[in-house]
Amino acid sequence: MGQEIEKKFLVDGDGWRGQGASTRISQGFFHTWRGHTVRVRCFGDKGYVTFKTRRAFSRKEFEYQVPLDEAIEMLHTMCDQPLVEKTRHEAKIGQYDWTIDEFHGVNTGLILAEVELKSADEQPTLPHWIGRDVTGVPSYYNDYLASNPFITWCRDGSCNGTCGMVHPPGGEQRGNNEEAPPTDLAQALALMKALHKPSTDS
């Protein structure tokens, strides 16, 4: 059993690029109960099934490696669609290891940074490219994005709920630096399925 203590932020700018390794990730969810989730993930050439307690600054995590071909089959036959597709970039800032998730497909335009901490009391120095702290905000967690893709989020809060698009909890809107996603949902879904070929690079 692992104890996950991490903070999550929006990313402002491109200053994080080119600082470490990058890995393609495909993941999906096939059960959520009282905020707890079961996740299937292809991380490079490895497959995992992970059980997580509800979203929070600190939560428990149980992760098990499974054969890659079984993870791929679970993603396409058991998990809700669309899958969450992203590239994870690594950056070493001082004594802390940061991960920056650049989302693709129906979540194109969203970039999130996370830093894992050893204790809840730690206060790491934030890089200049770090934006708003969204730790604990439900709409920025992968299980939420799986059922409410970024492409469906409202782009203009002035609509007061009349635009017919998803309004994430708390009224979160796009950052000024975020690229506009594809405007046709069906087209984006088809593109994401075509791109779902887990990388063999570690």
pLDDT > 50? residue 183: no
Using the structure block, give the residue that is written with the tokens 């203590």: 5
Least confident among 167-171, 174-178, 185-189: 174-178
**Stronger pLDDT, 136 or 181, i.e. the higher one:** 136
Secondary structure class of 141 (helix, strand, coil):
coil
Q: Is the pLDDT of residue 144 over 90?
A: no
pTM: 0.74
In the chain, what are the domains? Answer: 2-195 (2.40.320.10)
Residues 34-46: pLDDT tens digits?
A: 667 889 999 999 9
pLDDT of residue 58 exceeding 90:
no
CB environment 157-181: b (16+ within 10 A), e (fewer): eeeeeeeeeebbeeebebeeebeeb
3-state helix, strand, coil in the chain (%, to 5): 20, 40, 40
Q: Is residue 25's pLDDT more than 90? A: yes
What integer pLDDT is reported at residue 164 of this predicted model? 53
Specify which residues 25 forms β-bridges with: 43, 86
Region 80-96: mean pLDDT is: 92
Q: Tell me, what amino acid is at 2?
A: G
* pLDDT over 60 (residue 201): no
Distance CA 124, CA 10 (A): 16
Q: Write down the mean pLDDT value for the chain.
A: 78
Higher pLDDT, 89 or 166: 89
Contacts of 118 (CB under 8 A, 6+ apart): 5
* The pLDDT of residue 110: 94
Least confident of 100-104, 139-143, 155-159, 192-196: 192-196
**Residue 158 vs residue 106, higher pLDDT:** 106
Confidence at residue 2, expressed as pLDDT on a 0 to 100 scale: 59
More confident residue, 92 or 31: 92
Q: Residue 85: which pLDDT band, with cuts at 50, 70 and 90?
A: very high
pLDDT value at 70 more than 80:
yes
DSSP string, 13-74: SSTTTTSS-EEEEEEEEEEEETTEEEEEEEETTEEEEEEEPSSSSEEEEEEEEE-HHHHHHH
pLDDT at 83: 93
